[in-house]
Structures are given as C-alpha cells and as structure tokens.
Structure 1
Amino acid sequence: MTEKEWNGDFDPMADPEEQKTLLSVLDSLRSYRRLAHFNSTHVRRQAFYSLPSQHWTLLSQPPFSVLDSLSKLDDLIDSNAELAEAIFLEGFKAFMAPSLDSEWVASIVPEKYAHDEYQIYSIVMDHLNVQTTQGDMDKARSCVNQFYREWSAEGNMERGKCYEPIINALYTEFTARSQDILDLDKSDLKVLVPGAGLGRLVFDVCRAGYTVEGNEFSYHEIMASSLVLNHTDKAGQFNIAPFALGCSNHLSRADQFRTYSIPDVHPRSLLESEGTEEKVPPYERMSMATGDFCVIYSQPSYKGAFDVVATVFFIDTAPNIIRYVEAVRNCLKPNGLWINLGPLLWHHASRIQCSGDENEENNDDLKYHGHIDAGVGDPGSVELTDEEVVALVKHFGFEIERHEPGSVETGYISNRKSMLQNTYRASFWIARKK
C-alpha cells in the first residue's frame, strides 16, 4: 500500500456538504454500539417483559433462557463495536484530525481524556452538531458484517467462488502475453478493481503478483479498507458475530452467536514476506483511489492506463450502465481485458428525480462526494438483462471471449446454517477491447 493509502482528486474537507456527509459516516460508526444495544436488546427486553408474566417466567428458564441469550447478545454487540470504533478512529485520523484546531480541541477535552484518542475524537464529534442519516447507520452495520465475507477464513468459501475466476483469468492472460513479450513480469500487468469494497480482491490480485489499483467511493468501506490493509497489528485482531443481531431463522443459539476472527491473515506481514524476491515489491504494486468510478476513469489522464479491469458484484451499482462501459473502455489499453462476475441486482432501480421534500433523503443518496451532476449522481436509471448487458458491451467495441451466465452460484454474507438461504446465480464474462 502506498503511504497515502487512498488517492483521489477530491478533498472531502473542502466543501461543507462533503464534510456533512463525512461526519454522518463517522458518527454512524461511533454510534454502532449504542444503536445496536438499543435496537437489538433493549427493545427485545421490553417486548419480552410485555408477555404475560407466566410466559416470560417460563421462557427465562432453561432450556430457553431468553434473558441469558439477550445478555450474550449484548456481549457480541460490544465485540462488533470494537471493530466499528476502530474504523471510526482510523477514519477520523485520516479525514478530520489534520484540519482540527489543536487549541480548540484542548479547550473542550477534559484532562482525564487527554491521552485517549477515542474519547478525544468522540468529544469533538459531540461538539460538531452531527446529523447522522438512517442510511449511514444501516451501512455501518453492513460494513461490519461484510468483514465476514472478505476477511474471515470461513468467508473464503463464498468469496473464493467470486475471486478465483478473476485470478485464474488474469493468469491465463499473463501466460498468453508472455508468449509474445520476452521477460514479461506479472507486475507489468496493471489491473483496476472498481468497487474495491473492503479491499480483499485488491489484496489477492497484488498477492498474485500483479500491479493493482482499487477504486471505492463509499466512506464506510474506504475507512474499513484502510484499517485492515494498513493498521491491523495481527491476524485475528477482532472477533465479530455477523449473524447475531438478526434473530430469525436460526436453528440454534450457537449458530446465531458464532464468532469469526478477522482478518484471517495479516495483510502487511504477508505481502512483505512473500514479496522479497519479486521484481517490484508488493507495497509498490498496490494502491487505492477514492472517487466516483465514472468521473475518475473517464478522464483523459486515465486513457489506456490499465491492461485489465476486473469487476465483481459491481456493474449493477450503475444507475446508467453505459457510463460504466464508457469508463472501462476509456481506461483500458487496446487489446485490454474486462473480466466481470456478478448478478444484476440493480441498486438504483426506477429512481425518481424530483424537487419535493418527500424524496430529499433519496436524492441525498444519489449525491456523491462533490459530484452532484456527474457519475452515479447523473439523473435517470435503467435495468438491463444479462443478455442486454453483453450486447451493450459488444456495441461499445468489445469482443466477448467468454460468457457463462448463471455459472457461479454464491451467496453474499450468507449464514450457511440459517433456515433461509439466498443464492445468486452470477454471470461470468470476459470481454476484450478491440
């Protein structure tokens, strides 16, 4: 990872609206513990004690022990909150701390907290009149749970189905190019991963030997990626219970309360130990860029910058997928490869642009980091079928080399022991820029 950790063209502190967005994200992470305790245990205790007394008395005893289960749930919330608060700390230090007036901070922080970073930053947040959106609170919870898929040993079954086809396709492409280019090194292949999320695919591509740039615009995931890739001290530093807060469809409490250690590997140590004999060290081959994918990678400065673009569970985040196709085409070199795997759960389905207050919250979700009239903030949306997406890619000058619709069956942050299972039958295709 580069020293800057995340690179991008925008400064989130340069615009008041952007600061408001950033503060909402930070507060959603800081508030994880309080809100989870309220919504997951406090409310359930109230409902439990609203039962007829003979009923809640019965259910308080073995083998049910509902009150004991709620106490255990409180403990697991605290464990999850340790991760959320660690993300908050790293995010605050990266985005907010450099712009703070140290004298003002000293004037509002009691002496007893002078050496407690979390308390200092939390007190600062209390003085900034932060208004946290419901959407950001939901994303904070989702972000913690996503660590199960991306950075737990048990999540490898799920992510492996999605990432191994990408790594295999990269190796096939490298092997083919090696026959035409003498002394070609894996590091010579430049790979872009849009929608980098928590950074696991970026890490895996780098570990495989290629030069890779991740791109992400979600502040939650930017901060979480920075934490796991740059600021963890060891494997298994945190324990999370991703399925504990949902109380439906469990076969047993043991299933509901199962914990998972994350990260399953220590990224920095692993890259340093494996890259000692490589032509280009791993920390020089992996970088991250913040910003709207369409806005950044449609720029002339990125024209022909990458040999491969790899999109996993990403293209359906586009309101207007033509913008994505144009951006991929712009940043790929001639004969470059676009590798895609994922479903088509269109995230912006049938969104409506209006000026009424009733849609104000939805409109806020369409704004992105200073780009209100560009990228994902452009008006309009469309939902295509897999066949139509492939036809569109062809229309923009790509040759489809492989198309395997429904070939990858996988869940997404799925509890395999749950009584409810959701499975995607994702499409996998490879397209080459003519």
Structure 2
Amino acid sequence: MADGEWDGDFDPLADPDEQKHLLSVLDSFRSYRRLAHFNATHVRRQAFYSLPSEHWGLLSRPPFSILDSLSQLDDLIDSNAELAEAIFKVGFKAFIAPALDSEWVAKIVDQKSVHDEFLVYSTVMDHLTFRTTQESFQNDVDKARSTVHQFYRDWSVAGAAERAKCFDPVVNALEEEFAQRLKESPGLDKAEFKVLLPGTGLGRLLLDICRAGFSVEGNELSYHALIASSLVLNHTKTIGEYKIAPFALQCSNHLSRGDQFRTFQVPDIHPGVELEKASEGRKVPASERMSMAAGDFCVLYSIPSARDTVDAVATVFFIDTAPNIIRYIEAVKNCLKVGGIWINLGPLLWHHASRLQCSGEEHEEKSKSANKHLGAGIADPGSVELTDEEVVQLVEHFGFTIEKHETGRIETGYISNPESMLQNIYRPSFWIARKNDIAISI
C-alpha cells in the first residue's frame, strides 16, 4: 500500500456532505483527549466531591485513594490520546493538507506553533466550517474511542487470542483451497490467487493473508478504520510505538484498579518489516500483493468491471453490517469467479436494526437521506434481520453450494477484557460457500 493512499474512485472532498463527514471524523480523533478527560475524570471528580465530605474524605485515603486513581486515569487517557492524535495527523495529511493554500495557513498559524504538527493541523481545523449535528458528532466520537480500543484486538500481543479464533479459520480455509487448486494446476503461484476482504477494519487480517503469500485487496467504508489502518500499515516506526489502556474508560465490573488500568503496546509487529519477510522467495513482492479500496462494498463490487475478478471472498464479523444482506450476496457473487469460495465467520448482530427504532419525524428524515442515495448500496432504504439458517438458505438460493457450516464451535469475545466480571461471548457461525456456474434470479 502506498503511503496514505487507497485504490478506487475515492475523493471525499468532491462532495460537500462527504467532506463535512470526513472533517467530523478527523475532529473526533483530535478531540479524544479533551472529551475523554471531561467525561471520564472531570465529571467523576464532580460526582465524587458531591458525596458527604466524610465519605469522600475516607475514599481519598489508602487503600481506596480514588483521587489518585482518577489522576492515573488522566495519564492513561493522555497515552490513548497519543494514538488518537497520530491517526488524526495521518488523516489530515492524506485528505486535507494537499488542498490547503499555504499562504492562508501561514496567516492563521501562530509562529510559535509551526513546529508542532498537531497544533498546526488543529488550528486549521478550527478555521474550517464543518460542524455536523451533535448526534452525528457524538457518533463519530464513540467510533474514534472504539477504534483506539480496537488496536488491542488487532495489534497487541494480548489480542492474539481473539485473532486466533476469528482469523486463523479464514487463513486455514484459504490454504486448504489453494492446496487443492495446486493439485489441479501444478506450478500455480499463490500471488495468482486473489482474495477480497470486505470490512477490513484496522488491517491485521489483510496483512496476515498477504503474509501467507496470497494477493489480497481490502475494502473499507469507515473513515475511522481507513485512517487508523493507514497509520499502522504505512506509518509504523517501531514495534510497540504506542501504549494504550483499552479498558481504562470502562469503570464497571473490575476486580481491581490494576485490571482496569492495564496497558498494552501496539503494534505487536512492524508491518513494513513483515512485508519484507513475506517477499522472500516470492515471485511477487508482498507490497504489490496487498491493496486497499475505499468505499461502499456493494457499489464497488457490483459493477461490471468487478465481475469474476477474485478467487475468494473472506468476510469476518462483516455481513451483519448489511441493512439488506441480499445486496452483499449479489456483490460477492458478482466479483467472485465461478468455482471461487466465500469464507464467512461472524455473528449476526444486525447493525442497522436501529433504523426500526426511530419514528415520526426522525424516521421520515432518515428515509429521505437513504432515498437520496437509492441504489448506492448500504445507504439503500429498508432493512431486515435474518437468522443464521435463513442467511445460509439465502446464499444457496443465489447459486452457492455450502461446503462447510459450523455453529457453536468457536467462542470469542470482541475487544473483551478477560479479567472483567462481565463477559460477552460470541458464538459465530462459520461457513464456506462455493459459487456455482448457474444463473439465479430473485
């Protein structure tokens, strides 16, 4: 992957609404430090001092030392913010900086700040008009916080347990499929086996598939994930460059403060070094076998030019992001070659079920917004929530043969704290479907 670049027809600055959204996403990372301090410690200090004085006095002293814990939490927020602000800077440089007038920037930036990249970019952000609704910005803030925490799952040593449950079955299935094809076509090179990974997230599985020798294209719609993955894949300087405390802001169900305040170094590997290793003995360098396409999966992979272009599609914790899963199935079928396989692993936590929870004016406004993008894929109006059995039946209806289907065998958390008193466990469905050479219509 080239520094800060993504493949495909991707220019968020070409559309005013898209530009506003991008700026809001950047602002959510920029604001991580300020908002986390306010919501996690300032508000709690106020609540603490609202206790009867003899009570907060008692809890201020050892062995409780609540005020000391809040100060420690402030330090951990600053540590997390280093990563959030690094993501902000990568996104700003990739999308905003190239379009800026240098003379205008020189006029608005204080000379004392010119050597501080973050302050320069932050000053520019303060002078740009992009404010969205409070609800929309809060949503972006929540996603920024979640993105920082997701580095624990994708890019820490401790996150390997979750990755093994979710990523290893996919890579193993690809290896088995390639081994079978190699028997049929001796001399076939792994680089000729093309994999598509929709919902790439922070890019760890993308890298792992490339390291295994395959050619892989990631696809991602979320600016939060796109920019964060660019940081780690293209701009990592050292292993363990950032220290994060992914559970620090969650103040419930901890056995001890030590559990709450545990820190982890990310990334656990250097992607650039790993790509160099993955190039050894290969006909095609790893850097040429890995790419990222930004945009709506349904739009990018339903068009004629995408037809029959990949040997495998891998979806991990992805298909439940579809309001209408038929759109996803159609896109997979379009881009997958006849005889190709679709590997899926994940639960069915239908992300768009919230569309049904609004009513009246709010429902009408969301419907108008969706209709404005009718036919644009994930923005289509309408949604439906299916069971695993119904999803598999639907996949078969569209001309796939289910060759493997397992439920209940895998148990995994998602950015879960193994020391927490509350454990949320997914039991994802895992299936492999092969595209048949038949035409199916609805």
TM-score interval (norm. to shorter): over 0.9
CA displacement at 1:406 relative to structure 2: 2.1
CA displacement at 1:10 relative to structure 2: 2.9
Q: Which residue of 1 aligns with 2:391?
A: 389
Paired residue type of 1:402: K
CA distance in 2 between partners of 1:96 and 1:174 (Å): 42
Q: Which residue of 2 aligns with 1:25?
A: 25
Q: Structure 1: give runs of 5+ residues left out of the alignment.
A: none
- Judge conservation of contact 1:2–1:286 (CA < 8 Å) in 2: no
Paired residue type of 1:235: I
CA 1:138–1:354 in 2, change beyond 3 Å: closer, same or farther?
closer
Aligned: 1:227 with 2:231:
yes
- Judge conservation of contact 2:374–2:381 (CA < 8 Å) in 1: no
Q: Which residue of 2 aligns with 1:57?
A: 57
Pick the aligned partner of 1:409 from 385, 408, 411: 411
CA 1:412–1:355 in 2, change beyond 3 Å: closer, same or farther?
closer
Aligned: 1:164 with 2:168:
yes
CA distance in 2 between partners of 1:45 and 1:172 (Å): 56
Larger deviation, residues 21-30 vs 267-276: 267-276
CA distance in 2 between partners of 1:325 and 1:273 (Å): 35
CA distance in 1 between partners of 2:425 and 2:278 (Å): 35
CA displacement at 1:361 relative to structure 2: 8.3
Q: Which residue of 2 aligns with 1:192?
A: 196
- Judge conservation of contact 1:236–1:263 (CA < 8 Å) in 2: yes
CA displacement at 1:364 relative to structure 2: 9.9
Pick the aligned partner of 1:294 from 294, 298, 301: 298
- Aligned-residue CA RMSD (Å): 1.8
Offset from partner CA, 1:363-413 (integer Å, 9 cap, x none): 79969xx95652110000000000000000000000000000222110000
- Judge conservation of contact 2:244–2:264 (CA < 8 Å) in 1: yes
Q: Which residue of 2 aligns with 1:141?
A: 145
Offset from partner CA, 1:5-36 (integer Å, 9 cap, x none): 31121310011111110010000000000000
CA 1:49–1:226 in 2, change beyond 3 Å: closer, same or farther?
same
- Judge conservation of contact 1:235–1:265 (CA < 8 Å) in 2: yes
- Judge conservation of contact 1:315–1:344 (CA < 8 Å) in 2: yes
CA distance in 2 between partners of 1:292 and 1:355 (Å): 26
Q: Which residue of 2 aligns with 1:35?
A: 35
Aligned: 1:91 with 2:95:
no
- SS of the residue corresponding to residue 213 of structure 1 reads strand
- Judge conservation of contact 2:3–2:235 (CA < 8 Å) in 1: no
- SS of the residue corresponding to residue 406 of structure 1 reads coil
Paired residue type of 1:76: L
CA distance in 2 between partners of 1:77 and 1:318 (Å): 33
Q: TM-score, normalised by structure 1?
A: 0.96
CA distance in 1 between partners of 2:383 and 2:42 (Å): 40
CA 1:255–1:353 in 2, change beyond 3 Å: closer, same or farther?
closer
Q: Which residue of 1 aligns with 2:351?
A: 347
CA distance in 2 between partners of 1:135 and 1:6 (Å): 24
CA distance in 1 between partners of 2:278 and 2:335 (Å): 30
Pick the aligned partner of 2:257 from 235, 250, 253: 253
- The alignment covers a number of residue pairs equal to 432
CA distance in 2 between partners of 1:96 and 1:251 (Å): 44
CA displacement at 1:2 relative to structure 2: 3.6
CA 1:301–1:353 in 2, change beyond 3 Å: closer, same or farther?
farther
CA 1:72–1:110 in 2, change beyond 3 Å: closer, same or farther?
same
CA distance in 2 between partners of 1:157 and 1:310 (Å): 20
Pick the aligned partner of 1:426 from 417, 425, 428: 428
Offset from partner CA, 1:132-169 (integer Å, 9 cap, x none): 51100100000000000000000000111000000100
CA distance in 1 between partners of 2:268 and 2:10 (Å): 32
- SS of the residue corresponding to residue 410 of structure 2 reads strand
Q: Structure 2: give runs of 5+ residues left out of the alignment.
A: 437-442
Counting only pairs closer than 5 Å after superposition, residues 58-73 of structure 1 correspond to structure 2 as: 58-73=58-73
Q: Which residue of 2 aligns with 1:375?
A: 377
CA distance in 2 between partners of 1:354 and 1:50 (Å): 36
Identity of aligned residues (%): 69
Q: Which residue of 2 aligns with 1:211?
A: 215
- Judge conservation of contact 1:275–1:281 (CA < 8 Å) in 2: yes
Offset from partner CA, 1:35-78 (integer Å, 9 cap, x none): 00000000000000000000000000000000000000000000
CA distance in 1 between partners of 2:145 and 2:223 (Å): 14
- Judge conservation of contact 1:10–1:291 (CA < 8 Å) in 2: yes
CA distance in 2 between partners of 1:350 and 1:360 (Å): 14
CA 1:366–1:76 in 2, change beyond 3 Å: closer, same or farther?
farther
Offset from partner CA, 1:218-242 (integer Å, 9 cap, x none): 0000000000000010110000000
Q: Which residue of 1 aligns with 2:158?
A: 154
Pick the aligned partner of 2:287 from 283, 287, 301: 283
CA 1:350–1:224 in 2, change beyond 3 Å: closer, same or farther?
closer
CA distance in 2 between partners of 1:188 and 1:356 (Å): 52
CA displacement at 1:4 relative to structure 2: 6.0
- Judge conservation of contact 1:251–1:419 (CA < 8 Å) in 2: yes
Aligned: 1:323 with 2:317:
no
Paired residue type of 1:413: I
Pick the aligned partner of 2:242 from 227, 238, 241: 238
Paired residue type of 1:94: A
Paired residue type of 2:98: P
- Judge conservation of contact 1:2–1:284 (CA < 8 Å) in 2: no
- Judge conservation of contact 1:400–1:431 (CA < 8 Å) in 2: yes
